[in-house]
Amino acid sequence: MPPQNLPSRPRRLRRTEAVRRLVRETSLTPRQLVLPLFLIEGEDRAEPIDAMPGCSRFSIDRAIGTAEQAMTLGVRAFALFPAVSSEKKSPAGDEGLREDNLLCRAVIAMRQALPDACLITDIALDPYSNFGHDGIVSADGRVLNDETVDVLTRMTQLHAQVGADFVAPSDMMDGRVGAIRRALDGAGYTETGIISYAAKYASAFYGPFREALDSAPIDAPNVPRHKKTYQMDPANTREALREAALDEAEGADILLVKPGLPYLDIITRLRERTTLPIAAYQVSGEYAMIKSAAELGRLDETAAMVESLTALARAGADVIFTYFALEYAVWYRANPG
């Protein structure tokens, strides 16, 4: 059959791997990734997390070792999440304000061992609350906004004091970014950055993370069974734009969307609206789905990992929080560009 008279043949740009690489529109390197690390007390401990195959809770020394490995592969940023024992939890999350708590000791140790690492700390009460909420719960079952923000600002100053590069308020309380910025600046921590969870949705994809930290809302009288009064409705787009605009005006340095893949449209809309860096969090449920499907032989884990992370970057994410950071960095070393 003679060739058709087609002036444009897009397949010419897909003909070989060299050509495909030449015209590739989206590039994702390990330097853009953030590796979340779960912390536990003790020494030389690594507890596998059943709901997140390949992930563990680490004692501080083991967390440092994992971070060192990541840095040799080009991943230089780490988000720290403490798994706090139940006896240290309280309604007001008092452990979060203790100067020698697990997270503070981890930041100090990692800053000393890895001075070139970028350390990001979570700002919320759920790791420290015996109710499993990101804020203080009133006697009549409401999550209190302003009272929670007051605690978060003090927590933020503590994290800045021990050496965090960024604090990341994940609570979704109103006005917390502005309050945190004022508190940091007032205490002299003008160089400590804020990564705001600007659009954090009330998602079903957080389950494995809550198991890892034992931070799900408890089943008790006058304790909300969900986080829908402060995390966002998955049906909403304009609300995300409003939240992000407020956080930017209040002093956020980076805006984060969580979860990632179900909200690619939100990432793109924010990328079109702001000049700030956009971060995306590929959450525990997204990670676990790929792992579980791969274990069942339903898909190629490496290919799915690369495709899903590339999709987040293609949508407009400059920074990606992912539990695949180490695996992607290993893959990228063999497949650069």
CA separation (Å) from 84 to 51, 184, 191, 335?
18, 25, 28, 39
In which residue are the tokens 């700390």 written? Answer: 121
Active-site residue flag, 291: no
Q: In the numeric block, which tokens belong to residue 144?
A: 């209190």
Comparing CA positions, the residue from 225, 224, 228 lying closest to residue 202 is: 228
Active-site residue flag, 200: yes
Q: Which of 88, 227, 258, 291 is catalytic?
A: 258
CA distance from start to end of the chain: 38
112, with CB counted inside 10 A (0-12, 13-18, 19+), is exposed
Rounded CA gap, 93 and 127, in Å? Answer: 8
Q: Which of 88, 200, 227, 291 is catalytic?
A: 200
Which residues neighbour 172 within 8 Å (Cβ) at sequence distance 6 or greater?
134, 197, 200, 230, 231, 232
CA separation (Å) from 143 to 134, 147, 207, 227, 228?
8, 9, 20, 9, 10
Altogether, the residues listed in the chain come to a count of 337
Active centre residues (catalytic): 200, 258
